[in-house]
């Protein structure tokens, strides 16, 4: 596996430059993308953790990891980058996101799809995962972040 550590959630598909408040690529909020290099390690960890929690929630509804050691071994062997400290469900996402067109049998990676997804093609599953992950991130933004920004805007005018 590449020894280069993943330093940012960015996946190179930023939509915040087009005005999105939540990036469709990495699922971070606009202000997190803009300020990432200014964040202290604790702030970066908080963003990584929120993204991990949301992604794991999505992934657990789609698949089961029955052998995390095998999954890790396969990722390393195939040089698929992942964050070792994160949940194996995040590793499985990296596998599907980076190699969905190359995988014949997920069970060879220690992963099994839930029954309702077993007939799905992996690229279509990846799109569904990304869509749900984005919707959860957007809902989180709307519930917890946007009201704060709205209040700050009103208070500064008063």
pLDDT of the residue at 146: 83
Q: What single string gives the DSSP state of each residue in 133-149?
A: HHHHHHHHIIIIIHHHH
% of the chain at pLDDT higher than 90: 73
Q: What integer pLDDT is reported at residue 122 of this predicted model? A: 95
Q: Are 60 and 52 in contact (CB under 8 A)?
A: no
Tens digits of residue pLDDT in 121-146: 999 999 999 999 999 999 999 998 88
């Amino acid at each position: 596996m590449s020894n280069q550590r993943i330093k940012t959630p960015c996946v190179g598909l930023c939509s915040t430059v087009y005005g999105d408040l939540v990036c469709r690529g990495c699922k971070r909020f606009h202000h997190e993308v803009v300020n990432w290099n200014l964040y202290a390690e604790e702030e970066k960890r908080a963003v990584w953790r929120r993204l991990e929690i949301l992604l794991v929630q999505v992934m657990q509804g789609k698949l089961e990891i029955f052998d995390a050691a095998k999954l890790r071994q396969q990722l390393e062997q195939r040089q698929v980058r992942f964050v070792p400290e994160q949940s194996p469900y995040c590793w499985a996402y990296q596998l599907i996101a980076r190699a969905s067109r190359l995988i014949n049998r997920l069970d060879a990676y220690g992963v099994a799809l839930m029954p309702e997804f077993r007939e799905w093609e992996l690229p279509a599953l990846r799109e569904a995962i990304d869509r749900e992950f984005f919707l959860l991130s957007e809902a989180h933004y709307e519930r917890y972040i946007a009201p704060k920004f709205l209040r700050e805007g009103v208070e500064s005018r008063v």
